[in-house]
């Protein structure tokens, strides 16, 4: 079979190896669609924490069930899986927080992932397709991350939420915050993505910090109250550090984005607000099921995010084109014919 490895930052190689064989309790899947995500982009650029090279990337996956004895799954079924393999015994796992297991192995990050024609995964992580097509299934994982971030934020109806970063996870955060009844403001430097948020998602306001003073604009929008929830989906340290000032008194700041450096903020400004700062990592099975149900019911239509497609064998030479701002990529899918 063919697979693609990120040999070192900036280098993808197409290679061949034997098709893996499942052991007891495992299943063989044929990968059909692979979503390109921020983790892949940061890994390619050498800025992804928790990362070693060489590594096979890819954890936003839609697949076809090929071989195994997983209960309820048959050959040819459309499937996906939860790509966060947890130990089941650490303090986080014992408390139902498998998404932040102390020894978690994320497919395509800590261990080799799904940029391959076939993969083997443990049966316990499989997800039924439930009638979703391969495009939709490839988008379940990033949307689960967004759903988890919104659940962490505890958003209530009528709140004002600022989502920083209008990539696929940011778009998911917007939609799930709207489902919770919030008025959502999108912030991004990409005019194309902001236009998508206005036209397709109906955000309350779309702000480009290159064009306006963000503090003044937010204050005017909220009559000086400021957003009660700020969520970062940029993974940009400067953006993350600047956002503490955007938070209302008594507000919550949720970090979904990830970067390598340190956070820096004024303790007095943070303290006087009695602010809550929290991170949001990965997602749980509950989040995955919520996403699947939301797609099935039509509450979200993630296929509208897909702007670019690329053939699997063209990815090593074409990946950098997907990073170019002028190409207006929102979501790119890799397709294995």
Domain range annotation of the chain: 2-138+301-335, 145-279
Q: What is the pTM of this model?
A: 0.96
What's the pLDDT at 36? Answer: 96
CA–CA dist 167, 38 (Å, integer):
9
Q: What digits encode the pLDDT tens for the residues 276-323?
A: 999 999 999 999 999 999 999 999 999 999 999 999 999 999 999 998
* Of the options 1.10.630.10, 2.60.200.20, 3.90.1150.10, 3.90.180.10, the CATH number for the domain spanning 2-138+301-335: 3.90.180.10
Kindly indicate the confidence band of residue 226, based on its pLDDT and cuts at 50, 70 and 90: very high
In whole angstroms, how far apart are CA 157 and each of 150, 184, 316? 12, 11, 45
Q: Mean per-residue pLDDT for 84-98?
A: 97
Query: According to CATH, what is the number of the domain 145-279?
Result: 3.40.50.720
CA–CA dist 127, 182 (Å, integer):
30
Share of the chain above pLDDT 70, in %: 100
């Amino acid at each position: 079979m063919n697979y693609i490895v990120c040999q070192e930052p900036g280098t993808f190689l197409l290679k061949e190896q034997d098709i893996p064989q499942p052991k007891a309790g495992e299943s063989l899947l044929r990968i059909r669609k692979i979503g390109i995500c921020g983790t892949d982009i940061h890994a390619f650029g050498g800025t992804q924490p928790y990362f070693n090279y060489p590594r096979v990337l890819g954890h936003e996956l839609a697949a076809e069930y090929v071989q195994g004895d997983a209960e309820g799954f048959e050959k040819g079924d459309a499937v996906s899986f939860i790509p966060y393999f947890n130990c089941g015994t650490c303090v986080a796992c014992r408390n139902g927080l498998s998404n932040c297991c102390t020894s978690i192995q994320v497919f395509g990050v800590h261990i080799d992932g799904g940029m391959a024609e076939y993969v083997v995964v443990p049966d316990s992580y499989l997800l039924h397709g439930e009638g979703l097509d391969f495009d939709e299934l490839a988008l379940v994982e990033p949307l689960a991350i967004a759903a988890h971030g919104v659940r962490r934020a505890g958003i209530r109806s009528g709140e004002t939420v600022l989502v920083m970063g209008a990539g696929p996870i940011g778009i998911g955060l917007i939609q799930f915050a709207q489902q919770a009844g919030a008025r959502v403001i999108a912030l991004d430097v990409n005019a194309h993505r902001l236009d998508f948020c206005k036209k397709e998602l109906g955000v309350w306001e779309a702000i480009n910090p290159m064009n306006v003073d963000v503090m003044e604009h937010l204050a005017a929008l909220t009559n000086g109250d400021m957003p009660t929830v700020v969520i970062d989906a940029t993974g940009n340290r400067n953006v993350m550090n600047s956002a503490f000032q955007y938070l209302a008194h008594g507000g919550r700041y949720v970090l979904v984005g990830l970067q390598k450096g340190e956070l820096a903020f004024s303790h007095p400004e943070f303290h006087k607000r009695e602010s809550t700062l929290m991170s949001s990592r990965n997602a749980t099975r509950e989040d995955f099921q919520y996403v699947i149900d939301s797609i099935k019911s039509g509450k979200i239509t993630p296929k509208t995010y897909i702007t670019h497609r690329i053939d699997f064998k063209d990815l090593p030479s074409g990946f950098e084109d997907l990073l170019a701002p002028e190409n207006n990529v929102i979501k790119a899918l890799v397709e294995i014919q």
